[in-house]
Amino acid sequence: MSEEIGMSIEIGGDLPDHLVEEFLTVIRDEISNGNGPENEKELRRATGKRSVKWYGTTNYGECDDTKAFCKKSNLGYIHHCEAKYEYNAEIKYWVPVMKEELSLPSDQSGDSLIKPDTVRPILDLLFEISIQGTAALPMFLNNEPLKKVVEKGLKNPQKLRDILRTEIDRVCPVLPTLPALRIIKANTITFITEP
């Protein structure tokens, strides 16, 4: 069973020229009703100054083969899947420095959505810390979303700033800015033979 759902994927990074046709084949095979570079000439025209985006429909809005190709080739991506029926809109992204793909809910336009009940506990903690300093930490020991953050902060108050930064990034991630998609010449290896 399948369901065609609208999606987009923005890709950036250095694509070796010998992989261009394979890259385009993966995209063409996966994205239907597409809008984006379809052949090598169009791709070369679109690359060099910015990341490149494809729009279309895919099975359940996913593009697993395209994303797998990107990961294998060290190309970063931001993938947006629209909502349809019981399927929620979502943004998934990955850049080469990440261990795994991250995702967050979005609206139909591709803007991230952060639920207030996800952000509110960290805001309450920050508010109390601004008034009481680290003395506020024990007040939040029974607050389940913050329990680990508070325990780490109590154990090592000097690192509280770093602990809070990590939690803020987890709760309210910022999408990466992708580099331009560039087609680069593959490295050539020269063999030297002895006379």
- Average pLDDT across each block of 10 residues of the chain; the chain has 195 residues. List them in order: 90 96 96 92 94 96 97 97 90 96 90 89 96 95 93 94 93 92 74 46
The residues spanned by each domain of the chain are 4-113+174-184, 116-171
- CA–CA distance, 28 with 173 (Å, rounded to integer): 30
What's residue 188's pLDDT?
44
**Domain 4-113+174-184 architecture:** 2-Layer Sandwich (3.30)
- CA–CA distance, 158 with 160 (Å, rounded to integer): 6
What's residue 191's pLDDT?
46
What's residue 1's pLDDT?
63
User: pTM of the predicted model, to two decimals?
Assistant: 0.82
Kindly state the tokens that stand for 183.
């087609």
- CA–CA distance, 115 with 112 (Å, rounded to integer): 10
Cα angle value 128/132/134 (rounded, 5°)? 90
- CA–CA distance, 195 with 192 (Å, rounded to integer): 9
